[in-house]
Amino acid sequence: MTAVTPAPTAAASRTPSPGNKKTPRHTARESSRGYWIYLLPGAVGFLAIVAIPFGMNVYYSLTSWRGVGAPKFVGLDNYVRLVADPAFWASFLHSIAFILAMAIIPTALGVLLAAVLFDYIAPKFGSRVASILRATFYLPQILPIVVAGVLWKWLYQPQYGIINTTLDDIGLGFLQQNWLGDSDTAMLAVMNVLIWLQIGYTVVVFMAGLSRVDPALYEAAEIDGAGWFQRFWSITIPQLRPEIAVVLITTSVAALKVFAPIYVLTKGGPGTSTIVPAYFSYSNFFTTTQVGYGAAVATLLALLVTIIAIVLLRFQTRNAEGFEK
Amino acid sequence: MTATAPTTTPKRRQRPTQTSRSAKNRRGVSGWTILIVLAGSALLMVFPFWLALINAFKPSAEYIADGPIGVPTELDFTAIIDFWVGVNFNQKLLNSIILSGSVALIAAALSLLSAFAIGIGRIKGRVWILAVFMLAFTIPQEALVYPLFVLSRELNLYDTLTGVTIILAVLQSAFGTYMLASVLGSFPTEVLEAARLDGASRFQILRMIVFPLTRPTLAVLVTFFFIWTWNDFFLPLVLLPSAANQTVSVSLGALSGQYTSDPTALAAASMAGILPALIFFLLFQRTLMRGVNIGAIK
């Protein structure tokens, strides 16, 4: 699979080393220069859609602005205010819950399910059964997040939603909750939706990873008398390490940016019990129109995500080099 | 790493399809227990889909009387039709198709051009350029949305599909560039050399050699961009406020606030949202699965 998309380092390794610069090959150099024009559309787009807007956002974060009239420069006031704002801290604290729900729990369950399907169900019941089960686990992944949100909002509905009506039917009516409307359960209810959404992704990725592993490894372990759990710990987990790392980091980044499920399910509420940075900045921009304040939140979120993304890029590059060897 | 593992006799490699008897013997009670547990959890995963399906076509009176679990005794299209007509769902579908289609094509074209410069042209500083492009993909859209809102209003692109198309195409092409550049980075140099010797211009190389040979990867990209745009919510929510321009996702997101008195209405809305997603999945299943796997390793 790595052969399908070699990492950029593979491209870098083919280029002449700096030492070659002293003996210029004119044709190669000239042609290289002529390629810049092909980068132009992408570069202009990047400037107009990413670089300039981000710069403007940073500027807004240093102003007090209600979206109309001229922004008033206030320096770092917004950031100072943020540090003292419990909603801000709550939003970033909730990000940890979403990393749990979107990255850590789905990865743990995904590895386990993939291993069971690949190394237990497939050999015993045939790969057909395993791939049907895999497809079933994957199904929620095909939904637009908003659709998943609407669907679950209906399931959680306090009066006629299936969860509460079923609890009532089986005599557990006292367990009924206003799942999304109660600050004690709202976060868990949202997390449940995200776990449901994410498991399919991790199962599919990890099963693909396992199909890359040499079956001889498992067979040798089996001959040596290793039980299923021993194989899981000593073969599956180490062999899947690259996939696990990449999935954990990418889904964590996605968790930091989560917006749509919150918008649809809870709007950050009740109170601030499910607020996240993305929704917090959105509501400052468009609900309370404190543009400068929202921009400060967005800038901090961007910094955090970028730092993690750089770690990810570093990791991938190192990983790809490992494969080259 | 894997080479150190001892090779085993072919006998052990046989899969249960061939050795049905021995496989069946090995299944055992624990085997069936695990299968049942897995099948049970798989059913639980799809249960919400099933509920949406049966309740979207259930008369609300029956829902109120018997709850959500029973299969409807008669097919009732009222909820679906009410939703479809109420939000003018045909219009939303059309908007989503236009937006997703044009974003997918423009983003793929942009990706190909940039990746051509980076992967084939090997322009200077390409590693940094790629890193910067990746930032475009990872940066939270919240950090761009207000300026984009302001700029698009100034350029009369606010509340137009054109504006959102440009923005999403650029953002998604960042990922496409990253993927395609690595594919093109390992493009056979002999082919390119031969073309250059024959006097092919750079554009001819792109059009007649690189484009045809990367078409499979481009197809994966186009599929992904289409689905991503279809599922995208945040920027369309902010930049397409009027009902006539909304996409499927935005219209469903707007609905979730209201509409809670009629118990089958949200089921019908969910069903309307599930249907296109299911169709795309069935159409593009192979491409998507391949892409998920490529994306994970990359």
Q: What is the pLDDT of residue A258?
A: 94
- The position carrying tokens 């008897």 is B21
Q: Name the band, by pLDDT with cuts 50, 70 and 90, for residue B15.
A: very low
Which residue out of A142, A281, A307 would a mutagenesis test of the B interface target, given it has the greatest number of B Cβ atoms within 10 Å?
A142
Which chain A residues are closer than 8 Å to B270 by Cβ? 147, 150-151, 154
Asked whether the beta carbons of A197 and A211 are under 8 A apart, the reply is no
Tokens of B75: 């097919």
- Flag if B45 and A137 touch (Cβ within 8 Å): yes
Virtual torsion, Cα B235, B240, B243, B246, nearest 10 deg? -50
Q: Cβ of A199 and B45 within 8 Å? A: yes
Return the closest-CA partner of residue A12 out of B202, B130, B114, B213: B130
Mean pLDDT of B246-270: 81
What sign does the dihedral A300-A306-A309-A311 (CA atoms) show?
A: negative
**Mean of pLDDT over chain A:** 84
Residues of A in contact with B7 (CB under 8 A): 216
Residue of B nearest to A50 (CA): B136
Looking at the predicted structure, is the pLDDT value of residue A4 above 60?
no
Cα A292 from Cα A76, distance rounded (Å): 10
Of B38, B111, B186, the CB nearest to A133: B38
Indicate the residue of A43, A126, A285 with minimum beta-carbon distance to B16: A126
B248-255 helix and B215-231 helix, angle to the nearest 10 degrees: 20
Domain boundary assignment for chain A: 95-264
CB atoms near residue B225 (< 10 Å): 25
What region does B106 belong to: left with phi over 0, alpha with psi -120 to 50, or beta?
Answer: alpha
What's the pLDDT score for residue B286? Answer: 76
Amino acid at residue number A181:
G
Name the helix (H) or strand (E) containing A322.
Answer: helix A291-324
Buried b (16+ CB within 10 A) or exposed e, A111-127: bebbbbbbbbbbbbbbb
Task: Judge whether residue A282 has pLDDT over 70.
Answer: yes
Contacts of A120 in chain B (CB under 8 A): 31, 34
Q: Which whole-number Å values give the CA distances from B14 to A122, A125, A213, B9, B11, in the listed order?
A: 12, 13, 17, 10, 6
- Helices (H) and strands (E) in chain B — how many of each? 15, 0
Q: Which of A54, A122, A216 sits opposite B7 (nearest CB)?
A: A216
Higher-pLDDT residue of A220, A105: A105
pLDDT of A313: 65
What does chain B come to in residues? 298
Confidence band for B3, pLDDT divided at 50, 70 and 90: very low
Q: Which residues of A8-18 are buried (b: 16+ CB within 10 A; e: fewer)?
A: bbbbeeeeeee
Mutation target among A17, A31, A46 for the B interface, most CBs of B within 10 A: A46
Which residues of B are less than 8 Å from A216 in CB distance?
2, 5-8
SS3 B60: helix
Nearest CA in chain B to A154: B266
* CB contacts, 8 Å: B117 with chain A: 35-39
Q: Is the pLDDT of residue B23 over 60?
A: no
B38-76: pLDDT as tens digits: 999 999 999 999 999 998 888 888 888 888 888 888 888
Would you say residue B141 has pLDDT above 80?
A: yes
Q: Map residue A40 onto helix, strand or coil.
A: helix
Distance in angstroms (rounded) separating the CA atoms of residues B277 and A156? 22
Residue of higher predicted confidence among A3 and B174: B174
ipTM of the prediction greater than 0.95, yes or no: no
pLDDT over 80 (residue A223): yes
- Which class would CATH give A95-264? mainly alpha
Q: Would you list the DSSP string of A209-267?
A: HHHHS-HHHHHHHHHTT--HHHHIIIIIHHHTHHHHHHHHHHHHHHHHT--HHHHHHTT
Mean pLDDT of B88-100: 94
Instruction: Say which residue the tokens 């981000």 belong to.
Output: A54
Q: How much of chain A, in percent, has pLDDT values that exceed 70?
A: 86
pLDDT at residue A325 in the model: 31
How far A83 CA sits from the closest chain B CA (Å)?
Answer: 19
Does the pLDDT at position B81 exceed 80? yes
Residues carrying CATH 1.10.3720.10, chain B: 88-297
A141-190 pLDDT tens trace: 889 999 999 999 989 988 888 888 888 888 888 888 889 888 889 999 99
Q: Could you say which DSSP state residue A74 is in?
A: -
What pLDDT is attached to residue A23?
A: 40
Residues of B in contact with A117 (CB under 8 A): 38
**What chain B residue is nearest to A200 in terms of C-alpha separation?**
B45
Q: What is the structure's pLDDT at B135? A: 82
> What is the pLDDT at residue B60?
83
Confidence class for position A226, pLDDT limits 50, 70, 90: confident
Q: Percentage helix, strand, coil, to 5, in chain B? A: 80, 0, 20
Does A142 lie at the interface with B, CB-CB under 8 angstroms? Answer: yes
Check residue A120 and report its DSSP letter. I
Q: Which two tokens stand for residue B26?
A: 């090995």
Which residues 31-70 in chain A show a CB within 8 A of chain B? 31-39, 41-43, 45-46, 48-50, 52-54, 56-57, 60
Residue of B nearest to A314 (CA): B131
pLDDT in tens, A46-92: 999 999 999 999 999 999 999 888 889 998 999 999 999 999 999 99
CATH architecture of B88-297: Orthogonal Bundle (1.10)
Average pLDDT taken over every residue of chain B: 84
- Find the residue in A nearest to B231 (Cα): A144
Mean pLDDT, rounded, for A110-125: 90
Kindly report the number of other CB atoms within 10 A of residue A163's CB atom. 18
Per-residue pLDDT at B26: 67
